[in-house]
Amino acid sequence: MTLREGETELLTAILSRPTAPFREARVKAVLKAVLGRGGVPHFEDPVGNLVAGAESRAAYAALLAPAGREAVPIFVAHMDHPGFHGVRWRVRGARLQIRWFGGAPTARLAGAPVWVSDGAGYEAAGTLSKVRLTRADRGIDTAEVRVSRRGVSGRSPAARALYGGFRFRAPFWRRGTRLYARAIDDLIGTFTVCAALLRVWAGRKKPRCLALFSRAEETGFIGTIAHVKLGWIAKGKRPRVVVNLEASRQLPNARIGRGPVLRLGDRLSVFDPTALFWATSVAQANLDGAYQRRLMDGGACEASLLIAHGVPAVGIAIPLGNYHNMGIERGADSRGANAPSPEFVDLRDVAGGVRFCECLAKTPFRPDAAWVEQREAYRQRFERQHGLLGRG
C-alpha cells in the first residue's frame, strides 16, 4: 500500500512545520490551506482546535442532532509534539531559559541539538545545557538553550514567543520505506486524517464525517478537554464514533512495518466493542491482511477521554520508533539509549492508516445492527448442533 499523488507533498509540508504543545499554528495553517483546496469544510473552535467536515458550529450541531441509525465517524488527531517554550533570555539572542512540555528522553541531554522558532520567520539552531529533570526523572523540566548565531537574521524575538524541540540532520528524511523525523507523534496522525478526508471529499457529494485536529495533547489532552467542555461532541441524537489516530510506541504484536494497529484499548480503558467489531470488519475487507490489533497499554490516548464523557471511541495507532524522541530502538542520528533520537515509522503503515480511515469514513456503521449477522451465525450453528445437547 502506498500514498497517492499529492499526499507525499502534504506529508512533507506537515513534517517540516515547527510545532510544540500550545504552539500548533504553523501545522494548522497547512491543514486549513489544503482542506480549503480540497473542498473540505472546516472552522476553528473557540480554543483553536481545528474542526473539519463542517463549516461552522451550527453545521457541526446539525450533523449530530437528528435521530438516525448510522453513526457519524469523528476522527481525532493532535497537532502538537513534545517540546519547549522560551521563558526568558539570560543573554539576549544567545542563552534562552526554557520550560519543557510533554515527554522527553532523559539521557545525554547536555549538548543535544535543538531548533528554536517563533513561528513567524525566526529559525535558529542551538544546544541544550543546564538541564533539570522532572521530580521522578521521567522527563525534562527546565533547561537553557545556547542559541548559535548562525542563521539568525539580526533580531531576537521576545523569549516567550519562542518554542522548539530536538534537532537532527533534517526535519525529516527517508531511508527505504522508513520515514525519520524530529516529530512524528502526532503529525503522522494529523496527516493520516487530513489525507483520508481529502480522499473522501474527492469521491462523494456530501460526506458525513467530522475530524478534530486538537492542541496540547502532550500535556494531558488539554485541547480536546476544552473541546469536550463546549458540549458539542456529546450533544445530539445521532450515534457517533470517535476514531483516534496516534503514533504509539511499538509493542509485541504492534510492530513497525506490519500495518496500522486497530487499538483495542489503552492504559486506562478498553474501547467500544461494537465500534471495534465494525472497524475490524472494515480492516479485513480493505487492508489485504496488513493490519494489527492489540490493546496498547503503554500509554493513554484521547479515545479514553471521549469514553469517559460517554462518547463511543476506538483508536488506530501507527507503530512508532523512538517514541517521544527517546532512544528506544535508536538507529540513525540517535544519541544513544534513552537519549535524543529521531522518531520513525514505516511509510507502508502510514499508507495503510490513510486507507483504513478512508474506508471507515465510507463504510456505514449502524451500532444497533452491528451484531445482527454475528447473532445469525451463532443461531445457525446452534440449529445444526442443538440436537446433540440432549444426548449428554
Chain positions contacting Zn ion, by CB under 5 A: 185
Q: Any idea what the Cα angle at residue 196 is, between residues 193 and 201, rounded to 5°?
A: 120
Spatial distance between the Cα atoms of 118 and 75, rounded to a whole number of angstroms: 29
CA dist 127 → 95, 130, 150, 167, 223 (Å): 10, 10, 13, 9, 29
The residue (of 220 and 336) whose beta carbon lies closer to Zn ion is 220
Spatial distance between the Cα atoms of 113 and 170, rounded to a whole number of angstroms: 12
The residue (of 144 and 302) whose beta carbon lies closer to Zn ion is 302
The residue (of 63 and 296) whose beta carbon lies closer to Zn ion is 296
Strands 240-249 and 172-175: unpaired
DSSP state of 115: E
Which residue, judged by CB position, is nearest to Zn ion in the bound state? Answer: 185
The residue (of 10 and 216) whose beta carbon lies closer to Zn ion is 216
The residue (of 156 and 325) whose beta carbon lies closer to Zn ion is 325
The residue (of 198 and 301) whose beta carbon lies closer to Zn ion is 301
SS3 159: helix
The residue (of 214 and 292) whose beta carbon lies closer to Zn ion is 214
Q: Which residues contact 100 (CB under 8 A, 6 or more apart)?
A: 82, 83, 84, 139, 140, 141, 142, 143
Q: Of 301, 81, 299, 109, nearest to 172 (Cα)?
A: 81
Place of cell 526554557: 98
The residue (of 31 and 317) whose beta carbon lies closer to Zn ion is 317
CA dist 254 → 3, 90, 159, 200 (Å): 21, 45, 41, 27
The residue (of 24 and 185) whose beta carbon lies closer to Zn ion is 185
What is the DSSP secondary-structure string of 119-142? SSS-EEEEEEEEEEE-TTSSSEEE
Separation of CA 183 from chain center? 11
Spatial distance between the Cα atoms of 309 and 232, rounded to a whole number of angstroms: 12
* 330-355 residues labelled b (16+ CB within 10 A) or e (exposed): beebbbeebbbbbbbbbbbbbbbbbb
Separation of CA 378 from chain center? 37
